[in-house]
Amino acid sequence: MKSLLVLIVLAPFFAFGQEDAIREVLKDQVDCWNSGDLECYMDGYWKSDQLMFVGKKGVTYGWESTLAMYKSSYPSKEKMGKLDLTVKEIYPLSDDYWFVIGQWNLQRKDDAPNGHFSLFVSNDRWRMESSS
């Protein structure tokens, strides 16, 4: 019984550790984006054919296809602009899976697109992203 109580008391600390890891992956992705390196940016994604990205153009399946989509949509550092991400919520779904909701903003010479995103996270890597 004491072991169970210790686990219940310590559980929030494990959650904060995972949240920190998720935030660190997002920070690394922002740094990669802002340096114009899409391959580095994609390191935060699950490198699998099962990755699913949902955006305004529909669903893109697979890590390679998602990278190709990004390269097509953002062919230059100027088009990429400066990215800023704000995490709104991180919800634990289990010990191994998390759901993240946030907002993205780009600053470019002629515009400032923005939207929201959601992520399904496992082992600090995005398995699915939905973005608007």
Tens-digit pLDDT profile for residues 90-107: 999 988 899 999 999 999
pLDDT above 80 (res 132): no
pTM, entire model: 0.81
Rounded mean pLDDT of the chain? 85
The SS3 of residue 98 is strand
**Any alpha helices (H) in 74-117, and if so which ranges?**
77-80
- 79 phi, psi to nearest 5 deg: -70, -30
pLDDT at 125 over 50: yes
Residue 10 confidence (pLDDT) above 60: no
pLDDT digits (tens, 9 = 90+) for 11-46: 443 455 789 989 999 999 999 999 999 999 999 998
Instruction: Report yes or no: 109 and 117 within 8 Å, Cβ to Cβ.
Output: no
> What does the block give as tokens for 121?
């996270």
Query: Quick one: 72 exposed, middle or buried, by C-beta within 10 A (0-12, 13-18, 19+)?
Result: exposed
- Which domains, and CATH codes, for the chain? 2-131 (3.10.450.50)
